Amino acid sequence: MKKTALIYGITGQDGSYLSEFLIKKNYVVHGVKRRSSSINTERINHLYQDPHEKNKNFILHYGDVTDTISVKNTIEKIKPDEIYNLAAQSHVGVSFQIPEYTANADALGTLRILESIRSLNLKKKVKFYQAGTSEMFGKTVTKYQNEKTNFYPRSPYAASKVYAHWITVNYRESYNIFACNGILFNHESPVRGETFVTKKIVSGLYKIKNKKLKTLYLGNIYSKRDWGHARDYVEAMWKILQQKKPDDFVIATGKQYTVKQFINLTCKELNLQIKWKGKGLNETALDKNGKAVIKIDKNYFRPSEVDSLLGDSSKAKKVLNWRPKINLKQLIKEMIINEHKNN
């Protein structure tokens, strides 16, 4: 008998990769998407099946984690074996502008799913995965962060995710629900959202290389991050729910780069020559003709910055037998190929 998975956040980067992965594992995948007047299913269009087809393995439902009734009704109707909560207002910078909505979706959205599992008495059937984030660690005091590192969130997004993390632990311990947290460090892909810094860099530099953009504006280029590929990370999500006991896991590459290093690697792959000049807000990257192709814009700095994130996924390697397969250079190459296809 096929397993059934329900994915909240199916139209996002991770939702699309997880859907592909689970369908290959012979799952029937149900996904919840929000109603929108504009098309928001670009990442999953290749998986779409006509509603009139028989024996479908990919089914979409309208809903929203901010709507208690739809959450409960959808879970009651599908009664899935696994629920993956990837739904979120996931942009750190934007969370400072819409903090209440961020909390409603990212914190209370998680509670609504867990409470539905409990109230519908599905705790013996359903396994629940909560998408955590390395942003929860925030202002770190240790070089590496693992499952025992204290949280110190530095944005409304991170604070909302900390609540989601602990309410998941609470429902696991209080009601014996198979509920797990995956604390995933930054993971990117060719289908990353346009406003995320890696996508912004690759897309911007590709356009500069092809004379479709004059200048790319960025914020803090000295932030240090641990970047992996979303394709590797969705496999970890699935592995977390295949364990005999529910637990929490850090998923990371254990390698760190600054945003500036990411820019330099992308330029190298694009064969785009740049030279850095100046300091602070006046730092710029000049092309071979001396024109400024990258400038710093203070408006892209966050009210409180997270300077350094670097994950220790030793537990995941030992317990889940999970390891990242795609390195940063390969990731950037994939993202550039995608830009070439779409331009």
| Coil, strand or helix at 72 | helix
Phi first, then psi: what are they for 134, rounded to 5°? -65, -20
Asked about 215 being catalytic, the answer comes back as: no
| CB environment 91-113: b (16+ within 10 A), e (fewer) | bbbbbeeebeebbbbbbbbbbbb
Query: How many CB atoms are closer than 10 A to CB 343?
Result: 10
| The 178-184 sheet, strands edge to edge | 58-62, 28-33, 4-8, 82-85, 127-133, 178-184, 249-251
Q: Could you give the CA distance from residue 336 to residue 29 in angstroms, rounded to a whole number?
A: 30
Half-sphere exposure in the Cβ direction for 143 (13 Å, CA): 3
Nearest by Cα to 252 from 311, 179, 307: 311
Asked about 135 being catalytic, the answer comes back as: yes
The token pair that represents 144 in the structure block:
């590496």
Asked about 253 being catalytic, the answer comes back as: no
Q: Could you give the CA distance from residue 5 to residue 20 in angstroms, rounded to a whole number?
A: 12
Task: Tell how far CA 244 is from the center of its chain.
Answer: 25
User: DSSP of 210-235, one letter per residue?
Assistant: TTS-S-EEES-TT-EE--EEHHHHHH
Exactly one of 20, 135, 188, 235 is catalytic; which is it? Answer: 135
Exactly one of 17, 84, 129, 157 is catalytic; which is it? Answer: 157
Exactly one of 11, 133, 253, 266 is catalytic; which is it? Answer: 133
Element (H, E) at 33: strand 28-33
Catalytic residue set: 133, 135, 157
